[in-house]
Structure 1
Amino acid sequence: MQKKLFMGLVMSLFCSLVVAQSNRAVKYFNKAREAVTLNEYKEAKEYLDKAIEDSPGYSDALLFAADLYRKEGNTDKALQYYETVLQNRGPYYTYLFYGQTLFAAGRYQEAIKALNAYQQSPQANPKYAGEIQQLIDNSSFAIQSQASPRPYNPENMGKDVNTDQMEYFPSISADGNTLVFTHRNMEGSKTDEDFWVTQRDSSGAPWSKAEPLRGFLNTELNEGAQAITSDGGIIYFAACERRDGFGSCDIYASFNQGDGTWSRPVNLGDSVNSRVWDSQPSISSDGRTLYFVRGRSSYDKDINIYYAELRADGRFGKAKPIPGKVNTSGQETSPFIHFDNQSLYFSSNGHPGMGDLDFFVSRRQPDGSWGEPENLGYPINTGGQEFSLIVAPDGKTGFFASDALEDGFGLLDLYSFELPEEVRAIEIAYIKGKVTNKKTGQSIATEINFTNIDSEEKILTERSGRSGNYFAVLPGNADYALNIQAEGYLFYSKNFSLATQTADRAFELNVELVPIEVGERVKLENV
């Protein structure tokens, strides 16, 4: 937000000042402007240095130089120029630029003071009042967060996963042992995004050497953010500028063909995709709700999280903005719906935070809406951009991408860390099995209901496919009843416990249904 506000004002004000300066200084200043139009920033700074040397109080040149240094991340140099302008009793709006740069430098108390000084000026532009107030709120939040830091110890995922290129946008299977991510090769004249995969035997075991996914998923075109379903059967992903696309970027699905390869992608259609930018999908653990982001472009200042629900015909319904308190007039990006289906993690610059994009979590409310987001805190969040966070099935292990940590192998690396207690999700467990005819062994496709025994609440309804196989993700540390009422078969009910079941191993429960015949009786195994 502050970058857009900063750039929107500064260029329009360079010619508005009436300050004594020599003709030679003005000539250098104009040459600097010409150099910028040619993207010759080094030359532009050299011309500005000459203009300032000739006329030390030349506010236009000082502000222009500060802007260029701010762009390249040299906040110390930019602040030096702003302070010179203020010492010379320069224009009132310098306080705005000064406050924004102080915030970027992490000098939050001074930023509040400078921004308030701008707001108190009778010449302050009311158009920017809301954005400036948000920057003040962010500064106050940053001060409070730094005073109460949360535990944080990120670990690089190692050279078997990360390369000297870019790794980002991870997703993970329900057992926590398969990690798919986007790998971007920046070498050559054309960059290439593909999906890679790494696996491990169990929680705590080392990750295997990452390799590209096999089949028809990766192409010569770019494959962007993706999400793998809990059972590893489908990958939803974003792809841009394809012939069958509806907008600039669309969401597609590719199916695991059972031999480790992936099918040709299928566009999810215009119920999900729009004529603009749709990207960064995340799929619920039951496979029935797709979350993603939508904006006019990836650079749009107003990007929101949408969702679409799976219909009975196997297609997703019309996408809608998620209800509740998550979406703002700013950017909400990289959503991740945890396996507990109650915790939504995302990045945002529209809620009070440390900087450009912070990590947040929102909890599902009883009415299905999403509650007030909680910032994951400092030092997890910084003054930079935090994005592409996912959380493992255990509810406490996070994975994310960063280029800001010192132990990186390349341009962007994947890291893991343990989330603070306050922002963890519910640990889950998963159950799988096969439903068959007890007498013939024939597979049965049917509806399966799971009920929490203690609360007597029906938690989930799943279906076994034509193969008879089923897969379900349930909150861990609880006891359940599995119930099946299939046409032509006796009612089936069985209790089972996930109290000690961990997420990295499946609880297996095969079901044999008894055909209804004269003399057969229902056997209730949970009574």
Structure 2
Amino acid sequence: MNFRFPIILCTFLLVLLGNPATAQKTKQVRLNNKLLTDSTRQIAPKAEVAIDFPNVNKIPYYYDKKKLKAIRKYEKRKNWQKTLPLLEAYVGNFGIENFYKDTQLMWRLAQLYERKNQLDKAKAYYQLVLKHHRTDIRKVQLYYDSLEQKEKDYYVPLDYYYKLVEYRKNVTKFLPPKGVNVNMGYEINSKAEDYGPAVISENNQLIFTSKRTFRGLNAVPNEDLYFTKMVDGAWEEAQSFGKPINSIWNEGSACLSKDGKTLYFARCECPDCRGNCDLYIAHLLEDGTWGKIKNLGPEINSKAWDSQPTLSKNEDTLYFASDRLGGFGLSDIWFTHKLKNGKWAPAQNAGPVINTRENEVSPYFHPLYQVLYFSSRGQLLNFGDFDIYKTYRVGNRWQEPRNLGPLVNGKGSEYYFSIDGESKNLYYAKADPKEPKNLDLYSFPLPMEAHPLAVTHIEGVLTDSVSNKPLTGIISIIDLDNGVEVASKYIRPDGTFDFDLIDNTRYTMLIQSPDFFSVEKTFDLATDTVFKVMTTMIDHSLPLIFKNIEFDGGKWDIKKDMEPILDRIVLYLVDHPTFRLKIGGHTDSSGDPDLNLELSQQRADAIKRYLAKKGKFSEDRIDSFGYGSTEPLKDELTDEDMKINRRVEFKLVKPEGEQNQEQLQGWD
């Protein structure tokens, strides 16, 4: 039986979800995206469950014996209808200590939400339990995973991602990705630790911390502040801030106001420090020197470690990291805001969505948008030890932090994230896994996952056009307008995928798998969008026949209208370098049989040469055979029968024991 592969390899349907509930949700997300605040668009990803804990910065621990007794009474009777509102109200009154002392109450609340099919709320509370537990929570993890599996991201490992790019870069119009993990070089980095970058776009300045100098007879490393300016697109050699900012004590982790006249920084182990490290303020004087250095005082500084300040976009809120007592974990993100009299209010905790039982450090507030970046080792998705996350502020609440993905976060530790005002480049400190104690500064173009405007949601499903069953593969999104990278993902086992992208932008979607020819679709993104992508699986036991590969009579020249199909075969072969190809040329029975045999061989050889040259791989991977008219598909009773017999057959040969790349890499 002949398998005839269709001329149009893939069918694409671009549709918005049609049911009223989904359409309403999509509309609401778009409205959220268009809110204006202080002449700057307030942005947010798709709507999330809003959870508020008003007591977090008011009382350390909430306890009401009478209400707990009522909750237990209704639970014992399995009266979930009355249990749920009581438990919901009780958990809503939690202080900070409740999150680790009464974690089981959140766990029970999550289960009740799941029982009532309020899955978004259940998921939100499972997340809180996983972040704040201090006991064995394997059962909670199973419940959470069962809800999360349809939204979980299966990122392609970075080394394999680059192999994919390398395979296809010579045969497609897409350029290789811009470099990631790019060290800023000797003008900035030293042989000692360099970290804590903060970029100030208004004056093209970057400030950072370094331990490149030493003090005392024992040559103890001294933390000092340094700065560099960008001139003609390149950073100048770093210079020390000098005295009085830098002293015999340790200074670092600074941020600068937009006008460049106010500096906030940490100073450690000094005579007027309340704790190990305190936050200070300094002002630029009229003569160009720094002075008026002042400790920010007991409202902000504690008897513990307080460091790593960052200003909100309106410069009325100061965020910082502290390991003071009374927080959620080892170190937390805290904040203070300016009062009407110009003084700073008492510091408050940023809450249980951002902070976990582990360490949260190095906050950075985007200069234009309500987006906070920070480093953590306690969030739910980690590629290494410490990873960088972003969280959006919507109303008065922070949304669930999002990992910036493998183009930023590696197997080591990443800290001190910073972005320029145009959101084009990122700057951060990274520890080499081979030398975890030495930090260097890195900078490279901002990947999509880190971009503050990547809030427009696309989702879709990939299915076989014949069986309608889900297919697996690797999906890549290429930003054609800006060259912004989007980390490639494996399609989920149920065939679904999703990405958060920037609206009003042109993209290409590329889906690759050993099971089908690569799917390529270019689209303009204007709003939250749902794709249904259908393609036909390749049966490796049967030949592929393409109707538009027809040679002129008696000739074997490759025609222009053949190239799109042949280029797809090239791309498939370079994406799957272990596969081989067999080409069979066939003619109808008219004419001299010996000449037909020779002509069919020349046509098969011409295709072989084209494929090998275009893909830049050895011709040894391709076998070409001419069969003339010896293997007809049909008896030639009509011209149409003769046309069917005039064909070129392609047989993709899968190596024995070859597995899909998804299986090789695993779904962990």
The two structures have a TM-score, normalised by structure 2, of 0.41
SS in 1 for 2:208: strand
Please give the alpha-carbon distance, in whole angstroms, between the structure 1 residues aligned to 2:237 and 2:448: 31
SS in 1 for 2:429: strand
1:277 aligns with 2:305: yes
Q: Is the 8 A contact 2:180 2:407 kept in 1?
A: no
Determine which of 369, 392, 402 is the counterpart of 2:430: 402
Q: How far is the alpha carbon of 1:395 from its aligned partner?
A: 1.4
1:189 aligns with 2:219: yes
1:245 aligns with 2:252: no
Determine which of 403, 408, 430 is the counterpart of 1:375: 403
Q: Is the 8 A contact 1:293 1:335 kept in 2?
A: yes
* Corresponding residue of 1:156: 183
Please give the alpha-carbon distance, in whole angstroms, between the structure 2 residues aligned to 1:135 and 1:211: 52
Determine which of 124, 129, 137 is the counterpart of 1:130: 137
Determine which of 415, 420, 425 is the counterpart of 1:392: 420
- Aligned in 2, Cα 1:243/1:127: closer, same or farther, shift over 3 Å? closer
1:228 aligns with 2:235: no
* Corresponding residue of 2:383: 354
Structure 2 counterpart of 1:387, one-letter code: Y
Structure 2, unaligned stretches of length 5 or more?
1-132, 163-176, 455-503, 505-668
CA displacement 1:215-245 (0-9 Å, x = unmatched): 4111011102111111111111111222222
Structural mapping, 1:137-152, within 5 Å: 144-146=154-156
1:292 aligns with 2:302: no
Q: Is the 8 A contact 1:322 1:369 kept in 2?
A: no
1:421 aligns with 2:448: yes
Please give the alpha-carbon distance, in whole angstroms, between the structure 1 residues aligned to 2:144 and 2:399: 20
Q: Is the 8 A contact 2:372 2:391 kept in 1?
A: yes
Determine which of 338, 352, 363 is the counterpart of 1:310: 338
Q: Is the 8 A contact 2:318 2:335 kept in 1?
A: yes
Q: How far is the alpha carbon of 1:134 from its aligned partner?
A: 7.2
CA displacement 1:318-365 (0-9 Å, x = unmatched): 111124721122211100001014111001111121132111000111
Q: Is the 8 A contact 1:214 1:262 kept in 2?
A: no
Q: How far is the alpha carbon of 1:147 from its aligned partner?
A: 5.2
Please give the alpha-carbon distance, in whole angstroms, between the structure 1 residues aligned to 2:198 and 2:239: 15
SS in 2 for 1:160: coil
Number of aligned pairs? 297
Please give the alpha-carbon distance, in whole angstroms, between the structure 2 residues aligned to 1:368 and 1:127: 28
Q: How far is the alpha carbon of 1:292 from its aligned partner?
A: 0.4
CA displacement 1:410-460 (0-9 Å, x = unmatched): 943211012222321259xxxxxxxxxxxxxxxxxxxxxxxxxxxxxxxxx
* Corresponding residue of 2:230: 200
Please give the alpha-carbon distance, in whole angstroms, between the structure 1 residues aligned to 2:273 and 2:206: 27
1:213 aligns with 2:220: no
* Alignment RMSD: 3.5
Larger Rg: 2
SS in 1 for 2:319: strand
SS in 2 for 1:422: helix
Q: How far is the alpha carbon of 1:403 from its aligned partner?
A: 3.5
Structure 1 counterpart of 2:228, one-letter code: T
Q: How far is the alpha carbon of 1:286 from its aligned partner?
A: 2.4
Please give the alpha-carbon distance, in whole angstroms, between the structure 1 residues aligned to 2:157 and 2:453: 28
Q: Is the 8 A contact 1:358 1:387 kept in 2?
A: yes
Determine which of 194, 201, 217 is the counterpart of 1:174: 201
Please give the alpha-carbon distance, in whole angstroms, between the structure 2 residues aligned to 1:376 and 1:212: 31
Please give the alpha-carbon distance, in whole angstroms, between the structure 2 residues aligned to 1:135 and 1:172: 42
* Corresponding residue of 1:335: 363
Q: How far is the alpha carbon of 1:260 from its aligned partner?
A: 3.3
Please give the alpha-carbon distance, in whole angstroms, between the structure 2 residues aligned to 1:221 and 1:382: 33
SS in 2 for 1:159: coil
Structure 1 counterpart of 2:155, one-letter code: S
Please give the alpha-carbon distance, in whole angstroms, between the structure 2 residues aligned to 1:337 and 1:159: 27
Structure with the bigger RCO (C-alpha within 8 Å, sep 6+) is: 2
SS in 1 for 2:201: coil
Q: How far is the alpha carbon of 1:185 from its aligned partner?
A: 2.4
- Aligned in 2, Cα 1:375/1:210: closer, same or farther, shift over 3 Å? same
Q: How far is the alpha carbon of 1:262 from its aligned partner?
A: 1.2
Please give the alpha-carbon distance, in whole angstroms, between the structure 1 residues aligned to 2:138 and 2:223: 35
Please give the alpha-carbon distance, in whole angstroms, between the structure 1 residues aligned to 2:249 and 2:260: 23
Q: How far is the alpha carbon of 1:136 from its aligned partner?
A: 13
